[in-house]
Structure 1
């Protein structure tokens, strides 16, 4: 791993964090204090994108690209810590059902999205002869 790749992953991580903020802000606009749907959307779409990247395989997605996009951009975009804090806040507000839906829903939907992404990426790689 070169210093240039580390720098590229760091820059991509910052871009991913900015993108996360924008997506969350657009989804929750006017809904402050409501169910944290924006972060759910972020984590599910990020899992789908990472699944596609992994599904493409090394022949289609070189390791340097996987590191920069997967670890950097998508690592900065998705966030387990925010899901944890949002769930704790829901519990603190005595919104137990919403807290359970948030944590379980995030896990189930993100896992399903990652699996779907891997299938899509694998199909694209197969079509491309990879």
Structure 2
């Protein structure tokens, strides 16, 4: 149990750091306003989760799930930040942008996890 907790803590620190750096890079590339950085992070994290769930299961690596899935990707994806960004857009009166952000984040994250599973299964078949 303690080993898994350490894995989650280490993965979470790495994931949160990766999220921070990704957010800075995307914001510098596209600017402020619409929360593209959080949306991209959640979609990418969902894709990677799809890949990992297949790879770890097929390769007998489930012992690494606390580090990689709960820790790394849990720290990397940002649904609490997503919720705040959606609320902020809504409260600014940007109702259409808020709705697009929520719908786009959910739909693209679901598509990304399906693609991640599909690609990982094809590669490992």
Name the TM tier (shorter chain).
over 0.9
1:9 CA drift (Å): 1.5
Deviation string 1:9-53 (CA, Å, 9 cap, x unpaired) is: 111111101111111111112723x10000011001100001001
In structure 1, distance between residues paired with 2:87 and 2:47? 25
In structure 1, distance between residues paired with 2:57 and 2:7? 19
In structure 1, distance between residues paired with 2:50 and 2:60? 12
1:59 CA drift (Å): 3.0
Q: Which runs of 5+ in 1 are unaligned?
A: none
In structure 2, distance between residues paired with 1:75 and 1:106? 16
Which stretch shows the higher mean deviation, 113-122 or 23-32?
23-32
Scaled by the length of structure 2, the TM-score of the pair is: 0.93
1:56 CA drift (Å): 2.1
Deviation string 1:54-104 (CA, Å, 9 cap, x unpaired) is: 122523151111221011100100011111100000011111111011111
The secondary structure found in structure 2 opposite 1:35 is: coil
- Taking only aligned residues, the RMSD between alpha carbons, in angstroms, comes to 1.4
The secondary structure found in structure 2 opposite 1:94 is: coil
State whether residues 47 and 112 of structure 2, in contact with CA within 8 Å, keep that contact through their aligned partners in structure 1: yes
User: Which residue matches 2:64?
Assistant: 65
